[in-house]
Amino acid sequence: MSLRFISRALAGLLLIGATAANAADIIPLPSSMTKGTATFTFPVETTFSVPAFEGDSVATLFNNMLPALEKATGAKLKQAAGKADISLAIDQSIAPEGYIMNVTPAGIVVTASRPAGFFYALQTLQQMLPVVASQPATLTEVTIADTPRFGWRGFMLDEGRHIFGKDEVKKVIDMMALYKMNRLHWHLTEDQGWRIEIKKYPKLTDVGATRSSTSLGWGSFNTDTIPYSGYYTQDDIKEIVAYAKDRFIEIVPEIDIPGHTQAAVAAYPEILACDPENPHEVWIMQGVSPDVMNVSNPAAVQFAKDVIDELIPLFPYGYLHLGGDECPTTKWEQNDACKAQLDSIGSTNYRDLQLNFYKELVKHLAAKPKADQRKLIFWNEVLHGNTDMLPQDMTIMAWVGADKAAKEAATKGLTTILTPQIPYYINRKQSPLAGEPMSQGWGTETLEAVYNYVPMKDIPAELADKYMGVQANFWSEYVMTPEFLEYLMLPRLVAVAEAAWTPQDKRNYEDFHKRIRSHEDIFQAKDWNYARHAFAKEVCNKCKGEQK
Ligand code: ACM
């Protein structure tokens, strides 16, 4: 190795140590931040103190972060009983997910009222530090008083069409956690595959988790002729739910019923099919299958209740998502039992058969002990039926015509989550560049378009409290590999995370783009794939003269 090469490499290392540590680059941008000029340098032996709190949960989360903090500070961290360089303290007046962080020449003081607040403060601290420090890191004086705009800061992952596996789901959870997102909506069932073990119905995974091949394009009969298979056991699910919980992320499962159920119908046609006399297979096409559940069959209703019963202990949180989108009624219109049931409920709108089916499931949930009850989330198509049949505490997830649908839900007194197809479906192409992989959409969901969506635009103040938050969705029809998933997610997920956390009047794309560029180092250090072109000149047309 030449001397010149070695000195260049050393200079590079020193540069890494000297860069970052920049409070201006935090994403999501904190709700309030005041910078000073003095600095705090981490002593070679940096002391820390953590409060005994909730069974030492704060100490545990700090200890979990120790290796990363040591790498990033270049210091050895040691617990101290009294005054410390980094001290965590409780302040009950701070909002549950909020925190205050003061960096002064004397050290770092973090206060919060709940473990989540401390966790988010530590994510902020990590972003302010270099990825790896070759010398003790330095932070500039700053006071951050931070609290999220929305309680629901979500990401939805569809693993029905393609399944990415436990390690990749954990990686997605890591991405969400770094950017303070707190709800993973896990779409686990589709026409093309049922991905969660249900012990009472083993054929759901023995049959429903495998399709014979995969269509190569929207509505195309060309297939790859390769069988495709995969599902999560209940033990896998428990492991992932626990991993997410440690990162303050609740996992909300979606069992999409009664539409998008062709895989389940193929597994149990005798109870689920509207036409059990015909053959049914796990779908190999993409789109919306007409092969939906026969909601008028009591055995199909019992099936749904049994599935819910197995979900409840696996996902110990307040919500269950039962889908409800894109459910064609054609098979019900040709089925005598369905026609009779529609008559019996006094409706001529076939969508009401779907809502009547949910009504049975609501009754089932309401009869459970309080701890096992769950509120339900539905896609916004349920608004096309008589919503008086459903409980007032349901939530409408607004995707198609999202702003209008969410407002309609809120006006009816229902809570709602904004997940607009355009531009928050971050599986769609993210640029018009020729190299974009096959996907839905035409590249209109650029980083800038995603960032510039304004949640709750022109919403009257009296409806505001119905808006629980925002969520990016990821559908996996054409996304076959973890690398491709990550490529489409990043950095767009981060843009949604900022909309979820930062007050609207503080959001600005130009400023975000400057900040996100310094996060490229983080993506690389964590081995996350991402769209490099989102950082390049032709996309960064507003970063005048500052491009890489
Ligand atoms: C959806 O995109 N079908 C919710």
Mean pLDDT lowest for which of 5-9, 63-67, 460-464?
5-9
Q: How confident is the model at residue 23 (pLDDT cuts 50, 70, 90)?
A: low
Percent of the chain at pLDDT exceeding 70: 93
- Residues with Cβ within 8 Å of 353's Cβ and at least 6 positions away in sequence, in order, are 295, 296, 329, 332, 338, 341, 342, 345, 347
Counting from 1 in the atom list of ligand 1, the atom nearest the Cα of 397 is 4
Q: Report the pLDDT value the prediction gives residue 451, as an integer from 0 to 100.
A: 98
**Which of 292, 475, 476, 477 for a ligand 1 pocket mutation test, highest count of atoms within 8 Å of Cβ?**
475
Which residues pair with residue 469 across a beta bridge?
Answer: 152, 417
Q: What is the mean pLDDT of residues 465-473?
A: 98
% of the chain surpassing 90 pLDDT: 85
In the predicted model, what is the mean pLDDT of residues 343-349? 98
Find the mean pLDDT for residues 18-40: 84
Task: Output the pLDDT for position 475.
Answer: 97
Q: Is the pLDDT confidence value at 186 over 50?
A: yes
Q: Indicate if the pLDDT at residue 220 is higher than 90.
A: no
pTM of the complete model: 0.94
Is 350's pLDDT higher than 80? yes
Distances (CA, A) of 449 to 446, 474, 508, 525: 5, 16, 12, 27
Task: Give the pLDDT confidence of 42-89 residue by residue, as tens digits.
Answer: 999 999 999 988 888 899 999 999 999 999 999 999 999 889 999 999
- Is 85 strand, coil or helix? coil
Closest atom of ligand 1 to 260 CA is 3
- Tokens at 62, concatenated: 């700090």
Q: Which residues sit with their C-beta closer than 6 Å to ligand 1?
A: 325-326, 379, 399
Confidence of residue 437 (pLDDT cuts 50, 70, 90): confident
Helix axes 509-517, 492-501, angle to 10 degrees: 120
Predicted pLDDT of residue 171: 98
- 485, pLDDT greater than 90: yes
The reported pLDDT for the residue numbered 60 is 92
Residue whose CA lies nearest to ligand 1 atom number 3: 325
Ligand 1 atom with minimal separation from the 399 CA: 4
Helix axes 298-314, 234-245, angle to 10 degrees: 50
- Pocket perturbation via mutation, ligand 1, pick of 190, 289, 326 by most ligand atoms within 8 A of CB: 326
Centre of ligand 1 from the C-alpha of residue 63, in Å? 40
Q: Which atom of ligand 1 is nearest to the CA of 475?
A: 2
- Average pLDDT value over all residues in the chain: 92
Of the pLDDT bands very low, low, confident and very high (cuts 50, 70, 90), residue 471 is very high
Q: Give the per-residue pLDDT at 537.
A: 53
Distance 395 CA to ligand 1 centre (A): 15
Answer left, alpha or beta for residue 219, where phi above 0 means left and psi between -120 and 50 means alpha.
left
Tens-digit pLDDT profile for residues 242-269: 999 999 999 999 999 999 999 999 999 9
Distance (Å) from CA 511 to ligand 1 centroid:
32
Nearest atom, ligand 1, residue 326 CA: 3
Owner of token pair 């120790």: 66
Mutate to test the pocket of ligand 1, among 157, 218, 322, 379 (most ligand atoms within 8 A of CB): 379
Residue whose CA lies nearest to ligand 1 atom number 1: 325
How many other CB atoms sit within 10 Å of the CB of residue 392? 10
Cβ-based neighbour number of residue 537 at 10 Å:
10
Asked whether the predicted pLDDT for residue 18 surpasses 80, the reply is: no
Is pLDDT of 542 > 70? no
Instruction: Give the model's pLDDT for residue 210.
Output: 98
**Six-digit token pair at 226?**
């390769």
Task: Find all residues with CB under 8 Å of 43, minimum gap 6, and list them.
Answer: 75, 85, 136
3-state secondary structure of 210: strand
What type of residue is 258?
P
Greatest mean pLDDT among 76-85, 123-132, 186-195 lies in 186-195
If you take atom 4 of ligand 1, which residue's CA is the nearest one? 325
- DSSP-derived letter for residue 302 is H
- Where in the chain are the domains? 32-146, 152-547
* pLDDT at res. 177: 98
Does residue 10 surpass a pLDDT of 80?
no
Contact 283, 217 (CB under 8 A): no
CB burial of 169-185 (b: ≥16 within 10 Å; e: otherwise) equals bebbbbbbbbbbbbbbb
What is the chain's alpha carbon radius of gyration, rounded to the nearest angstrom? 25
CA of 101 to the centre of ligand 1 (A): 40
The protein residue with its alpha carbon nearest to ligand 1, atom 2, reads: 399
- pLDDT tens digits, residue range 369-398? 999 999 999 999 999 999 999 999 999 999
Q: Could you name the CATH architecture of 32-146?
A: 2-Layer Sandwich (3.30)
* Architecture field, domain 152-547: Alpha-Beta Barrel (3.20)
Mean pLDDT of 193-197: 98
Tell me how far the alpha carbon of residue 214 lies from the centroid of ligand 1, in angstroms.
Answer: 20
List the end-to-end C-alpha distance of the chain, in Å, as a whole number: 28
Residue in 100, 61, 67, 107 with CA at minimum distance from that of residue 83: 107
Digit-coded pLDDT (tens) for 97-124: 999 999 999 999 999 999 999 999 999 9
Confidence at residue 460, expressed as pLDDT on a 0 to 100 scale = 97
Flag whether pLDDT at 11 surpasses 90. no
Q: How far is the CA of 325 from the centre of ligand 1 (A)?
A: 6
| Residue 548 predicted with pLDDT over 70 | no
Atom from ligand 1 closest to the CA of residue 473: 2
